């Protein structure tokens, strides 16, 4: 007698959020907390260094490491490890894990540095950009700014009834030779983002899918506008 179809089961587990923290020795009044999330195959150290090139080192920077690890090469003996936020398989689990991790790190850092949500910024490069936009639309009271770099807008951005109006200011930086997000696709991002957010700024820079280390000239005035007392 053949077996019946297998039953799908799940078991909730405790999720740990690993992150790096860089804070100046003297915390300024009304400090700005930046929570950075890295791209596929990267790690917390890399996004911390890259974020500093955009915001400087005078702010409070937390770099969150994605929960899933993988070997960067299939070659025998290779032990270089990268981290990722999930795949299409069980994507809702990945979204839930991302939201829980971001909420937990924000809560811990806000309590430590006495920082309100009005002084919190969420930054993402590549893979977590869409996740961060989802977070801002799901938890609009948690951050006041979101910077998305070389990433996408969620496919269900216009359709998901659970999303709320985004109160955070959004800054999206794209590249015109991005192999994952072609210029024709990203050209529609400003209008798509404005479907839920009133404050949207968009820039298309030359180059491929790389972190734009020279984009500080874009980020600094945006920070000064959105977080006017931030010390850069």
CB atoms within 10 A of CB 194: 14
Find the domain containing 90 and state its range: 30-67+83-226
pLDDT in tens, the chain (232 residues): 788 889 989 888 888 899 999 999 888 888 999 999 999 999 999 999 999 999 987 899 999 999 999 898 877 777 889 999 999 888 999 999 999 999 999 999 999 999 999 999 999 999 999 999 999 999 999 999 999 999 999 999 999 999 999 999 999 999 999 999 999 999 999 999 999 999 999 999 999 999 998 899 999 999 999 999 755 5
Query: According to the model, what pLDDT value does residue 131 have?
Result: 98
State the Cα–Cα distance between residues 196 and 69, nearest whole angstrom.
33
Query: According to the model, what pLDDT value does residue 231 have?
Result: 52
Domain contains 217: yes
Query: According to the model, what pLDDT value does residue 15 have?
Result: 85
Query: According to the model, what pLDDT value does residue 232 have?
Result: 53
Domain contains 54: yes
Q: Are 173 and 147 in contact (CB under 8 A)?
A: yes
State the Cα–Cα distance between residues 160 and 231, nearest whole angstrom.
37
Task: Output the domain CATH number for residue 201.
Answer: 3.40.50.1820
Q: What is the pTM of this model?
A: 0.93
Domain contains 56: yes
Tally of domains within the chain: 1
Domain contains 42: yes
């Amino acid at each position: 007698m053949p077996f019946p179809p297998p039953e799908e089961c799940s078991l909730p587990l405790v999720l740990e959020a690993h992150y790096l923290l860089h804070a100046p020795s003297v915390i300024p009044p009304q400090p700005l907390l930046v929570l950075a999330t890295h791209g596929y195959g990267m790690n917390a150290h890399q996004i911390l260094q890259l974020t500093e090139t955009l915001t400087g080192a005078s702010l409070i920077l937390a770099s969150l490491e994605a929960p899933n690890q993988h070997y960067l090469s299939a070659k025998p003996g290779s032990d270089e490890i990268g981290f990722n936020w999930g795949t299409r398989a069980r994507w809702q689990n990945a979204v839930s894990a991302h939201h829980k991790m971001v909420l937990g790190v924000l809560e811990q850092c806000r309590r430590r540095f006495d920082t309100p949500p009005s002084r919190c910024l969420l930054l993402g490069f590549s893979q977590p950009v869409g996740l961060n936009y989802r977070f801002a639309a799901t938890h609009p009271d948690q951050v006041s700014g979101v910077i998305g770099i070389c990433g996408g807008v969620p496919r269900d951005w216009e359709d998901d009834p659970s999303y709320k109006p985004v109160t955070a200011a959004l800054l999206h930086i794209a590249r015109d030779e991005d192999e994952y997000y072609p210029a024709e696709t990203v050209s529609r991002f400003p209008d798509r983002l404005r479907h839920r957010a009133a404050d949207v700024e968009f820039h298309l820079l030359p180059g491929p899918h790389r972190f734009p280390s020279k984009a500080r000239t874009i980020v600094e005035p945006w920070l000064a506008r959105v977080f006017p007392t931030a010390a850069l």
